[in-house]
């Protein structure tokens, strides 16, 4: 995997080159550029998987570089590094599909962790491409079309899919973020912006919907249903369910059965 670091301040670039443990990730080669024009030259000569990029680089900026790269090279994963906390910057980064947005100055460990997550996404995309090529060779491309390519899903769609597939777990923000290779705080901000709901609220809503379905359509004991939607404490599950529906699980099941008579 190759990384390109772009910043118009040479000392910032050099500090990242020497400060991050690239071998641990692992990264094969780290390329550097001190302007958008230099970065474009690197892209045209080398295969770049992960772009670590400053935003303000007059006379242009990192957003313009990412747009340019996206038009010409597929699968580039971008992490923006900026000293600016303005919401408009983060909003534009999200719009462009940025993988992460790190406020500078940031510890090398934070940058390293972000690149490790990005590396996971690069590997996932490569594995998917290989699978699609194999499926096409085997004549299975029709069945492959039935399920959307993971690489075509947005980060929030991937998070929602992970939640639904792991509804029986006591899900945490950190676990979900790790599964889709995002920074936990970035995931929370992105989720709220795109859905209008907090990540925790969405998890609870999905768990309660699953519980309602099991109570209504099966004869599984209520206490077991709690564990099937990720609650080890039945009393707490009942409290959350009542807050969500206005009824206890037992009352909800009874009401549904009466309505079917």
Digitized pLDDT (tens) for each residue of the chain, 261 residues in all: 999 999 999 999 999 999 999 999 989 999 999 999 999 999 999 999 999 999 999 999 999 999 999 999 888 999 999 887 676 777 788 788 888 888 888 899 999 999 998 888 888 777 666 555 545 544 544 444 444 454 568 899 999 999 999 999 999 999 999 999 889 999 999 999 999 999 999 999 999 999 998 898 887 888 889 989 999 899 999 999 999 999 999 999 999 888 766
Residue 35 lies in a domain: yes
Please state the pTM of the whole predicted model. 0.56
| Domain C-terminal end among 77, 99, 121 | 121
Rg of the chain over CA atoms, in angstroms? 23
Contact 227, 168 (CB under 8 A): yes
Cα 130 from chain centroid (whole Å): 21
Structural domain including 21 reads 2-121
Q: Are strands 60-61 and 2-6 parallel, antiparallel or unpaired?
A: unpaired
Cα 187 from chain centroid (whole Å): 6
Write the DSSP symbol of residue 22: G
CA separation for the pair 247, 242 (Å, rounded) = 5
180 and 245 housed in the same domain: yes
| Domain C-terminal end among 73, 100, 121 | 121
So what's the pLDDT on residue 7? Answer: 96
112 and 164 housed in the same domain: no
Nearest to 124 by CA among 95, 149, 89, 91: 149
For 33, other C-beta atoms within 10 Å of its C-beta total 22
CA separation for the pair 8, 38 (Å, rounded) = 10
115 and 214 housed in the same domain: no
Contact 34, 10 (CB under 8 A): yes
6 and 112 housed in the same domain: yes
Residue 70 lies in a domain: yes
Please state the domain count of the chain: 2
96 and 51 housed in the same domain: yes
CA separation for the pair 98, 196 (Å, rounded) = 20
Q: Which domain CATH number covers 238?
A: 1.10.10.60
Nearest to 37 by CA among 52, 51, 58, 17: 58
Q: Please report which helix (H) or strand (E) contains residue 135, including its range.
A: helix 108-137
Q: Are strands 29-33 and 2-6 parallel, antiparallel or unpaired?
A: parallel
Long-range Cβ pairs for the range 186-195 (8 Å, 24+) = 186/100, 186/101, 187/155, 187/159, 189/90, 190/94, 190/155, 190/156, 191/156, 191/159, 193/91, 193/94, 194/94, 194/154, 194/156, 195/156
Entry field: residues in the chain: 261
Residue 36 lies in a domain: yes
Q: Are strands 100-103 and 56-57 parallel, antiparallel or unpaired?
A: unpaired
Residue 89 lies in a domain: yes
So what's the pLDDT on residue 239? Answer: 96
Render 194-228 in DSSP notation, one character per residue: HHSS-HHHHHHHHHHHHHHHHHHH----HHHHHHH
Residue 190 lies in a domain: yes
108 and 158 housed in the same domain: no
């Amino acid at each position: 995997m190759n990384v390109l670091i772009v910043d118009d301040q040479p000392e910032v670039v050099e500090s990242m080159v020497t400060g991050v443990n690239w071998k641990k990730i692992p990264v094969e080669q780290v390329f550097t550029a001190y302007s958008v024009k230099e970065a474009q030259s690197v892209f045209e000569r080398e295969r770049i998987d992960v772009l670590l990029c400053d935003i303000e680089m007059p006379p242009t900026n990192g957003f313009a570089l990412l747009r340019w790269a996206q038009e010409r090279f597929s699968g580039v994963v971008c992490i923006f590094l900026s000293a600016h906390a303005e919401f408009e910057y983060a909003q534009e980064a999200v719009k462009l599909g940025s993988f992460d947005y790190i406020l500078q100055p940031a510890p090398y460990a934070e940058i390293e962790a972000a690149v490790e997550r990005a590396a996971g996404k690069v590997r996932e995309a490569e594995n998917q491409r290989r699978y699609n090529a194999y499926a096409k060779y085997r004549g299975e491309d029709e069945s492959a079309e039935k399920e959307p390519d993971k690489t075509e899903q947005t980060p929030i769609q991937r998070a929602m899919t992970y939640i639904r597939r792991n509804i029986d777990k006591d899900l945490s923000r950190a676990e979900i973020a790790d599964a889709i290779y995002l920074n936990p705080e970035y995931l929370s901000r992105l989720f709220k912006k795109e859905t209008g709901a907090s990540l925790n609220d969405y998890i609870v809503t999905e768990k309660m919907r699953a519980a309602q379905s099991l109570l209504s359509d099966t004869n599984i004991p209520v206490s077991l249903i709690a564990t099937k939607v990720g609650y080890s404490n039945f009393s707490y599950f009942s409290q959350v369910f009542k807050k969500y529906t206005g009824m206890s699980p037992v009352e909800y099941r009874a009401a549904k059965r009466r309505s079917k008579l």
